[in-house]
Amino acid sequence: MINFSANLSMMFNEVNFFERFNLAKEYNFTGVEYLFPYEYQVEEIQSALEKNELKQILFDLPAGDWNSGDRGIAVQPKRVGEFQDSVEVAIEYAKALNCKRITCLAGIPDIDVSAEISRKTLVENLKFATDSLINTDITLLLEPINSIDIKGFFLNKTSQALEIISDVGAKNLKLQFDIYHMQIMEGNLINTIGENLDDIYHFQIADNPGRNEPGTGEINFNNVLNFIDKSSYVGWVGCEYNPKGSTIEGLKWIEGYRNNA
Give the residue extent of every domain in the chain. Answer: 3-260
Q: What is the pLDDT along the chain (261 residues), one digit of tens a residue?
A: 899 999 999 999 999 999 999 999 999 999 999 999 999 999 999 999 999 999 999 999 999 999 999 999 999 999 999 999 999 999 999 999 999 999 999 999 999 999 999 999 999 999 999 999 999 999 999 999 999 999 999 999 999 999 999 999 999 999 999 999 999 999 999 999 999 999 999 999 999 999 999 999 999 999 999 999 999 999 999 999 999 999 999 999 999 888 887
Q: Domain 3-260, what fold?
A: TIM Barrel (3.20.20)
Identify which of 132, 134, 154 has the alpha carbon closest to the alpha carbon of residue 145.
154
Active site residues: 143, 240
